Amino acid sequence: MIITVTCNPALDRSLTVPQFSADAVNRATGSRLDPGGKGVNVSKVLNAIGAESIATGFLGGSAGSAIASALDTLGIRHDFVRVAGETRTNLKIYDPVRTTYTDINEPGDPVSAEDIAKLEEKLLALAKPGDLVLFAGSAPKGLAENTTARWAKTLKKRGVLVAADQDGGQLNAVLSAKPFLIKPNDNELKELLALPDTELTTLSQAALQLVRSGIAHVAISLGERGALFADEQGVLYAEGVRVNAVSTVGAGDALTAALLYAAQQNFTREETLKLAVATATAKVTCPGSSPPSMEMIQRYRDQVIVTAFQ
């Protein structure tokens, strides 16, 4: 079973605004609401490609209820801790004329020590040996940056595989747990390791250093450039596939979902990276944070070229 943990989920409002301009009146030509947050997005993609998962984390208020209702409609299993605060709403603005994507993300209401204890208890009850648990997204106020790292260490001792798609202090902390997989993007890895740039050679060397430190798999999403994938066998590079993007929201999450699915299915490393980049490519052709179908993913899979790097 794959369990996604989203401690700071969001209701994503996506607007289409031609010629969007700051400090001006803008008129939207389209609007949609989607359940969001990194782990929630991963569960949505897994569901779309026929893989089962359980989504957990914190939900509160009317936005939290809307997320739970949307997941029910999609047929996605979930078991969240209900909190007193209101789950955040994030705004995503797509300008089809200038081809720009603007994200305005709220911080989210704080969670209490009691809320955190409840989620820890729930997570330890849900996860069984051999399961794959993903910690994804930002931390709400009240949740210490090392909390998910502490949970990861406990889960590993119980035979659970741990993955992380986090940034900043959370990612830095979880490295000490030596997770099965981490999936930073190029800028997140640059910031984490104080790299001089985001050139492929620089990133690949950094990924190999992380592998040598005890992290089994390091995947780096590169946006339009594609992705790098490192393990004890070396580094693979998949060049991005050019498409007309509609929404970049959740593209990295789609890539993460494919990595988890591939790990569950024991795909080869080349098959894993091809599926991951194809899934992210298909995602950006979908509106809002809506997931791509397996049929859409297969359309791009053969176009992904994977080569050994260095």
Q: List the domains of the chain with CATH numbers.
A: 2-220 (3.40.1190.20)
Q: What are phi and psi of 9, to 5 degrees?
A: -65, 175
Alpha-carbon 78 to chain mean position = 17
Confidence of residue 245 (pLDDT cuts 50, 70, 90): confident
For residues 146 and 170, give the distance between their C-alpha atoms in angstroms, rounded to a whole number: 6
Asked if pLDDT for residue 134 goes beyond 90, the answer is yes
Indicate the residue type of 71: L
Torsion of CA 118, 120, 126, 128, to 10 degrees: -160
pLDDT value, residue 78: 98
Q: What is the pLDDT of residue 270?
A: 95
Structure tokens belonging to residue 286: 């979908």
Looking at every residue in the chain, the average pLDDT score rounds to 95
Q: What pLDDT band is residue 280 in, cutting at 50, 70 and 90? A: very high
DSSP for residue 292: P
Q: Return the pLDDT at 247.
A: 86
Confidence of residue 310 (pLDDT cuts 50, 70, 90): low
Structural contact between residues 92 and 288, judged by C-beta atoms closer than 8 angstroms? yes
Which of the four pLDDT bands, split at 50, 70 and 90, describes residue 101? confident
Measured from the Cβ of residue 156, the count of other Cβ atoms closer than 10 Å reads: 16
**Structure-block tokens of residue 36:** 């969001």
Q: What is the pLDDT of residues 140-179, one digit of tens each?
A: 999 999 999 999 999 999 999 999 999 889 999 999 999 9
Residue 193 has pLDDT above 90, yes or no: yes
Closest CA to 217 of 261, 162, 150, 169: 162
Q: At what angle do helices 186-193 and 200-212 cross, to 10 degrees?
A: 60
What does pTM read for this prediction?
0.94
For residue 269, CA distances in Å to 134, 187, 258 come to 19, 23, 12
How far apart are the C-alpha atoms of 244 and 302, rounded to whole Å?
18
Share of the chain above pLDDT 70, in %: 100
What mean pLDDT do residues 126-146 have?
96
pLDDT band at 289 (very low <50, low <70, confident <90, very high): confident
Mean pLDDT of 115-135: 97
Model confidence band, residue 22 (pLDDT cutoffs 50, 70, 90)? confident
The whole-number average pLDDT for the span 73-93 is 95
- Residues involved in catalysis: 253
Please report the pLDDT score of residue 246 as a whole number.
85
Tokens of 291: 């997931």
Give the model's pLDDT for residue 157: 95
